[in-house]
Structure 1
Amino acid sequence: MASSPRFILLSLLIFFSLSHAQTSSSHSKPKALVLPISKDASTLQYLTHLNLGTPSLQTTLVVDLGGRHLWIDCSSGYQSSTYRPGHCGSASCSLAKADCVSICPNPARPGCNNNTCKVLAKNSVFGGFLIPEVAIDTISIRSTDGSKAGSHVSIPNFIFACAESFDLINLASGAKGMLGLAKERVSMPTQLSSAFGGSFRRKFAICLPSNPKANGVLFFGDSPYQFHPGYDTSKVVEVSSSFRYTKLHVNYETTASPRLQGAQLPEYFVKITSILVNQKPVPINSTLLDFHKTGIGGSRITTVQPYTTLETAIYKSFVKVFDEQMLVTTGNRKVRKVAAVSPFKDCYRKEDLDMSLLGFSVPDIYLVFENRDVNWLITGANSMVEVSNDVVCLGFLDRGPNTGLTTTSIDIGAHQLQDNLLQFDIAASRLAFTSTLLLREVECSNFKF
C-alpha cells in the first residue's frame, strides 16, 4: 500500500539520498528530462544512450518497459571516481530489495566487492535471470521544456545494478545493459521523481521511432509533448491533445498452485475487453481477456517483444475477421495470400494493396478498453510489416495457447507502439495514449534533440 509506514520510509530514503541533484547550468530543478530512443534494425530492439559515471561516459542500453532495474556490464573496464558499491545493510540495498553476499571471490572491482548486496534482475530479451551487485553512481540526462532537449542534469547517488559481460546475451550490438522502466522503487521513473521532489511527477512517456535512422524520445516527469512535422520544422504540434485514457492494472506472478496468488508484477497491464476489425467484433472468450489470480490472462504492453502476440484462439478469430474485412477495405478487390514468412503466419501480395499516409490500406483494428468509448486505433502502418519488395505480412504473432508457463493472453508489442505516444502515470495508475501520430502528420522522430 502506498500509505504504509515502510513505503513512506523507503521513499524518504530515496529522496534524501538523491536530493542534491543539480543541473549543469543552474540550481533550478527540472520538471522533465528526456532521452533519445533509436531502433536497432538487426534485432528490432530499442536503444537509448545514458551518461554514467565520472568522467561521464555514454552508455547504450536496451529499453525495457517492464524491466525492474537499470543494469549494466561493469566487468569490461568500468571506471568512475563516483562509483560506490551497495554495502550490506545500506539504504540502497533495502530499496533494491537485495540480499547480502559477504565475499567476492575475485579482486575487488565494480560489480565484485566484499560485504555487498546482490539483486535478482532479468535479461528480458534472452529470458534469463542474473544476480548483479547493487551499485551507486552519478548519471546525467538532458532536461526538456517539452519542445526540445536542453542542458544536462546531473543526478548523483543513482542506484543501479552491476552485471557481467555474459549477461549481455542476445542484446543488440553495442548495448551494455538494459534500462528498466517498471513500477519499482529503484526504476528510473521512481528515482528521478524522488530526486527532484513533488514538482517532478512519477510518470514517463515513450515514443518509439519506426525509422532506424532517426531517434524517437523518452520523457520523464511532466511536460508538454511538442513535435515538429518533418515538412515544416517551424510548426509545433502538441500531441497530448489527442490523449485518451485507460486504467493500468495489476497482475501477478504465476504460482505452483492455482489457489495461491503470486507477488505483484512491476510491468504495465491494461484491460482489453474486445477487438474490432473495421468495427466488426472479433469473437473472443472473455475469460482470456480477464485477469486471474493465477497470473494468466489479461493484456500487457512491452517494448521487448517486437510484435504483438495473441493467444492461439484469439489469433485465429482475429485473422479470420481481418481477412473477411480485407475485401470490404479494398472494395471487393481480392488480396492474394502467399506463403508464410517467419515469424509471421499471414502474408499478402504487396501489389494488391494500396498505400495511404497511414500505411497500407488494410482494415483498421481497434483495441477496446474497459471504458468502452475508449479504443486504440491501429492502422496499416502499425498492423502490417513489409518483409520483401513483393510481400507484406500481418504483424501479429500466434503465441500459442495459455499454459502454466505463459501469462498474458495479449502482449502489445513494439511494432504496434511505433509512432504512438504513450504516457505511463505510475502514481495515478493510468495510461494515456494517442493512437498513431501519423493522423497529426507527426512521427516520433519529429522531436528536436
Structure 2
Amino acid sequence: MELLPLLLACSLLFTVAAPARDITSVCASQIRDFPHRNSSGLHLTLHHPQSPCSPAPLPSDLPFSTVLSHDDARAAHLASRLATNNDAPPRRPTSLRKKAAGGRFDDSLATVPLSPGMSIGVGNYVTQLGLGTPATSYAMVVDTGSSLTWLQCSPCVVSCHRQAGPLYDPRASSTYATVPCSASQCDELQAATLNPSACSVSNVCVYQASYGDSSFSVGYLSRDTVSFGSSSFPGFYYGCGQDNEGLFGRSAGLIGLARNKLSLLSQLAPSLGNSFSYCLPTSASTGYLTIGSYNPGQYSYTPMASSSLDASLYFVTLSGMSVGGSPLAVSPSEYSSLPTIIDSGTVITRLPTSVYSALSKAVAAAMGGAARAPAFSILDTCFEGQASRLGVLAVGMAFAGGATLKLPTRNVLIDVDDSTTCLAFAPTDSTAIIGNMQQQTFSVVYDVARSRIGFAAGGCS
C-alpha cells in the first residue's frame, strides 16, 4: 500500500512551503485540528499530502514524476476492479509467525497468494484517529476507494515501516479483542479487501490488504474502541497490521470510506448517519472531513451511479464539459461512454479519450500565445511558465441531475516544475475518474442514504 504524506518540495499544487522558521506559527494558525462532534456530525481536520503541517511526512526529495507514477498505478487498479476478467498474476505468498519475547511460541497465520490491489499513493489526504482505551491518536490516510481501516500494530512480528509516533499496542488497551474466524466480519473481508480471509492456528481471523504497487498489509482482524476527540465508538472492526511492506510514508495506516460493511462510514452510520463530506485543501491550508449530518441546501446534486462490477466504489455520470463557457466539441454520449468513479486518492482526473482530446485542444486554444512544453510523465498538454502567470482558465464539468463543478485555473493546471505547467487531466480507454485536483477547495458530500453526491464551491473557507 502506498500511504505517503507531508512536505514535498515539488507539491501537488506546487505551492512553496513556508520557510522553516515560520512553520510552527503557520501550523498553529491551522489548528482546527481537534476532532469534535456536534449536532451536525463528527468533524475532523484534513491535511494535504504535501502540507508542512501534515502529521505524516512525505520524503522531501520525492520527485513529482514519482507522484504521477503512483497515481497511474492507482488509476490502473481502479480500472482493473471493473474488468470482467482480471488475469493479473497473484502476489507472492505471505506468512506471519508470532514469536513471544524470549520464547518459541509460533502462531502461523497464513500462507496464501495475494491478488493485486490498489495503489494508495501520495495523493491521499491525512487526518487523526484515536484507538484503544485509553485512546492514542494516529495519523491516518483517508481513502474513499478502500473499505477496511487498518494500522500498524506492535509487536509487528514480521515488518513495520517507520511511522510518525508510536505503533498501536493492543496489549495497552483494555477494550481490545481479536476476531474469531467464525465471525461474520471475517467473511466480509473478501468484499472489503478483494482478498480471502485466512485463519490462524489459534482461530484468529487474518486480513490481507494488497495494493497495485506491490505494497500490502497483513494482520489480525480486531475490535476496539475508536475515538475522535471526546467522541468514542466501541466495537469498531479494523485490521491490526503485523506485516506492512511498501511505500507507506510515515502514516500509521488507512481509513476506509468505501461502501462496504467494514468501512468506517458503515460502522459509524448507526450513530452518525450514512453520509460524509469533505473539503480537500491545497498544501497551504487545511480542510475537513465530516461524518454525519450536513447542510443539504448548499449543494448541487448528482445521483450516485452504480456498477455491478464493484458495489463499494462511488460512481457518477459526467454529462458535459466546457472551456471558457463554450461546450467541448464532442457528442453527449462520449461523456458516459465509460464508467466514472469519483475518488479522493487519485490526483489526476481521467477522461474518455475523445473527451480528453477535445479538452486538450480547447485549453491550448484558450491559452493563446503560451508556448507549448514537452509532455511530462502522463501529462501531455503542457506549457512553458507557471499556471498563476498564464491568465485565467475556466473549465466547467457538468453531471447528471444538474450538479456542476466550475473549475478555476488552480483546479485545471498543475505546475510540474519551476518552468512548466500542465493540464491536470489524462486520457483513458477503460475507467474515467474524477480526481482530487479537480475537487480541491470544493465541499463534496457523499449522501449514501439518499444515493447522491453534492458539490459546493468555497468548502475549505
TM-score exceeds 0.5: yes
Relative distance call for 1:185 and 1:33 in structure 2 (3 A) is same
**TM-score normalised according to structure 2 size:** 0.66
Corresponding residue for residue 179 of structure 2: 86
1:139 to 2:139 alignment: no
Structure 2: how far apart are the matches of 1:362 and 1:164? Answer: 50
The answer on whether the counterparts of 1:96 and 1:185 sit within 8 Å (CA) in structure 2 is no
Q: Secondary structure at the match of 1:306?
A: coil
Shift of 1:29: 8.7
Q: Secondary structure at the match of 1:318?
A: helix
Relative distance call for 1:190 and 1:44 in structure 2 (3 A) is closer
Q: How does 1:418-429 map to 2 (within 5 A)?
A: 418-429=440-451
Shift of 1:285: 5.9
Shift of 1:116: 2.1
380, 397, 420: which one aligns with 1:367: 397
Relative distance call for 1:315 and 1:223 in structure 2 (3 A) is closer
Shift of 1:120: 5.0
Give, as a single letter, the amino acid of the residue that structure 1 aligns with 2:353: T
Structure 1: how far apart are the matches of 2:411 and 2:255? Answer: 24
Structure 1: how far apart are the matches of 2:206 and 2:434? Answer: 31
Give, as a single letter, the amino acid of the residue that structure 2 aligns with 1:170: L
Give the structure with the larger strand fraction.
1
Give, as a single letter, the amino acid of the residue that structure 2 aligns with 1:342: S
Shift of 1:140: 0.8
Structure 2: how far apart are the matches of 1:52 and 1:298? Answer: 36
Q: Secondary structure at the match of 1:415?
A: helix
**Where does structure 1 lack aligned partners over 5 or more consecutive residues?**
1-25, 105-113, 143-151, 225-239, 254-263, 292-296, 328-333, 403-407, 438-442
Q: Secondary structure at the match of 2:240?
A: strand
145, 150, 170: which one aligns with 1:71: 150
Corresponding residue for residue 242 of structure 2: 164
Corresponding residue for residue 148 of structure 1: none
Give, as a single letter, the amino acid of the residue that structure 1 aligns with 2:244: F
Q: Secondary structure at the match of 1:393?
A: strand
Structure 1: how far apart are the matches of 2:210 and 2:342? Answer: 17
Give, as a single letter, the amino acid of the residue that structure 2 aligns with 1:394: L
Q: Secondary structure at the match of 1:340?
A: coil
Q: Deviations over 1:224-269 (max 9, x none)?
A: 5xxxxxxxxxxxxxxx65410110111233xxxxxxxxxx331111
Structure 2: how far apart are the matches of 1:164 and 1:123? Answer: 16
Corresponding residue for residue 382 of structure 1: 411
Structure 2: how far apart are the matches of 1:48 and 1:123? Answer: 21
Structure 1: how far apart are the matches of 2:265 and 2:288? Answer: 15
Give, as a single letter, the amino acid of the residue that structure 1 aligns with 2:277: A
Structure 2: how far apart are the matches of 1:389 and 1:189? Answer: 40
Corresponding residue for residue 303 of structure 1: 344
Structure 2: how far apart are the matches of 1:336 and 1:141? Answer: 49
Corresponding residue for residue 128 of structure 2: 49
216, 219, 222: which one aligns with 2:293: 222
Q: Deviations over 1:265-320 (max 9, x none)?
A: 311110012222223222446555437xxxxx221111221111223333222101
Q: Deviations over 1:149-199 (max 9, x none)?
A: xxx2011110112233434x222x2112211111111211111122x2xxx
The answer on whether the counterparts of 1:118 and 1:131 sit within 8 Å (CA) in structure 2 is yes
Corresponding residue for residue 233 of structure 1: none
Give, as a single letter, the amino acid of the residue that structure 2 aligns with 1:326: M
Q: Deviations over 1:70-104 (max 9, x none)?
A: 12222255313221111122254355568664435
The answer on whether the counterparts of 1:101 and 1:115 sit within 8 Å (CA) in structure 2 is no
Relative distance call for 1:289 and 1:122 in structure 2 (3 A) is farther
Q: Secondary structure at the match of 1:186?
A: coil
Give, as a single letter, the amino acid of the residue that structure 1 aligns with 2:435: G
The answer on whether the counterparts of 2:257 and 2:265 sit within 8 Å (CA) in structure 1 is yes
Shift of 1:47: 1.1
The answer on whether the counterparts of 2:147 and 2:264 sit within 8 Å (CA) in structure 1 is no
Q: Deviations over 1:15-50 (max 9, x none)?
A: xxxxxxxxxxx9x99651122111122534311111
Give, as a single letter, the amino acid of the residue that structure 1 aligns with 2:355: I
Structure 1: how far apart are the matches of 2:235 and 2:38? Answer: 16
Corresponding residue for residue 276 of structure 1: 322
**Where does structure 2 lack aligned partners over 5 or more consecutive residues?**
1-35, 51-57, 59-121, 161-166
The answer on whether the counterparts of 1:100 and 1:115 sit within 8 Å (CA) in structure 2 is no
Structure 2: how far apart are the matches of 1:160 and 1:84? Answer: 11
1:336 to 2:351 alignment: no
Shift of 1:141: 0.8
The answer on whether the counterparts of 2:335 and 2:355 sit within 8 Å (CA) in structure 1 is no
Q: Secondary structure at the match of 2:235?
A: strand
329, 340, 354: which one aligns with 1:313: 354
Q: Deviations over 1:376-397 (max 9, x none)?
A: 2111011111233432221112
1:58 to 2:137 alignment: yes
Give, as a single letter, the amino acid of the residue that structure 1 aligns with 2:323: V
Corresponding residue for residue 5 of structure 2: none
Relative distance call for 1:283 and 1:73 in structure 2 (3 A) is farther
Structure 1: how far apart are the matches of 2:240 and 2:260? Answer: 17
